[in-house]
Amino acid sequence: MEIPSVASFTRYFENIRGRTERVFDSVPAEHGDWRPASGAFSFCDLMRHLGATERWMFAENVAGRPSRYPGHGEQLARGYEASRTYLQRMHAESMQIIGGLADADLELPCTTPGGATMARWKWLRAMVEHEVHHRGQIYLMLRLLELSGPPLYGLTSEEVKERSLDLPGEG
């Protein structure tokens, strides 16, 4: 999927982020520092990581600058509410940078932290993939705590099955 314009990307990514925020809304604040295993991301780590990579890696790279990723530690924000605020602030800053691009800038190359060179629109697409990957982790972590997140598109899998036709030969 090629990104045709900055405006279409920012609308799309705001929807992606909105779904991620709704999953974070399902995380009880008292579980913010819970992690499924030693050395694994906690919910707060994931908020800080998503905010920091979006702002200090992806947005910097599409602006033609090198990554300045600071990690995801508590030095960025301590606790659940501060981590949520950090994620939202980094997103706002990133969208200012990305929104300031001209459509033609999407075709220009950028260099990733790994040294790969690609069109900026491809790096923005990778940012979306990165977020969706971590959103899946959040859903799994909630299930490990025997909690649930919101249905991604408004229906659970059981509700989709109830509203679907049977396959031929089934009944």
Note the pLDDT tens digit of each residue in 156-167.
888 888 888 888
> Tell me, what's the pLDDT at 171?
61
Cα–Cα distance between 45 and 159 in angstroms, integer? 32
> Tell me, what's the pLDDT at 129?
98
> Tell me, what's the pLDDT at 165?
84
Which pLDDT tens digit goes with each residue over 112-133? Answer: 999 999 999 999 999 999 999 9
Cα–Cα distance between 17 and 40 in angstroms, integer? 22
Cα–Cα distance between 40 and 59 in angstroms, integer? 25
Cα–Cα distance between 77 and 59 in angstroms, integer? 20
Which pLDDT tens digit goes with each residue over 19-55? Answer: 999 999 999 999 999 999 999 999 999 999 999 999 9
Contact 48, 80 (CB under 8 A): no
